[in-house]
Amino acid sequence: MAAPPLSEIYAGYIQAINERDWGVLETMLQPQVTWNHTPYTAEEYIGLITRATIPAPDIKFHVDWLLVDEAAQRVAARLLIRGTPRDEFLGIKPKGTGGEVEIVEHAFYAFVEGRVAEVRTVIDMDGLREQMR
């Protein structure tokens, strides 16, 4: 049986994050995941995501653009991340009424045997700062 396409695997990855289903997410990761050049165990990587979502419990990731290279086992995504920070979020303290923010993230993934092995992300922090005024 052929492996599912990376677009399907990636949709499951985003769904697991949005549902906070860390057990499912772990099955989608290699035992070691490199994020922005730093190696983490799968458990540590999930911890990074968990800690990032705590200040905005309603945060959801939405795939805006998705590019997949099946042969190279690579995925590139433009994500819209929406949520309502209740506390300091990604190092920024809310100064206003604490309404919903939308963050743009560009994420690049390398897969090995259908599981995430490497992630590189760039977040529009200036846009987030502007919204949290």
**What domain count does the chain have?**
1
- Asked if residue 123 is part of any domain, the answer here is yes
| Phi, psi for 107 (deg, rounded to 5) | -130, 140
Domain with residue 121: its CATH number is 3.10.450.50
The number of residues making up the chain comes to: 133
| Closest to 78 (Cα-Cα) out of 109, 50, 52, 99 | 109
- Asked if residue 1 is part of any domain, the answer here is no
- Asked if residue 104 is part of any domain, the answer here is yes
CA pseudo-torsion sign 58, 46, 5, 109: positive
pLDDT given at position 56: 83
pLDDT given at position 40: 98
- Asked if residue 105 is part of any domain, the answer here is yes
- pLDDT of the chain, 133 residues: tens digit per residue: 677 899 999 999 999 999 999 999 999 999 999 999 999 999 999 999 999 888 888 999 999 999 999 999 999 999 999 988 877 776 777 676 668 889 999 999 999 999 999 999 999 888 887 877 7
- Asked if residue 100 is part of any domain, the answer here is yes
pLDDT given at position 84: 87
- Asked if residue 66 is part of any domain, the answer here is yes
Q: Is 73 left (phi over 0), alpha (psi -120 to 50) or beta?
A: left
- Asked if residue 67 is part of any domain, the answer here is yes
pLDDT given at position 97: 61
pTM: 0.90
Which structural domain range is residue 48 located in? 6-131
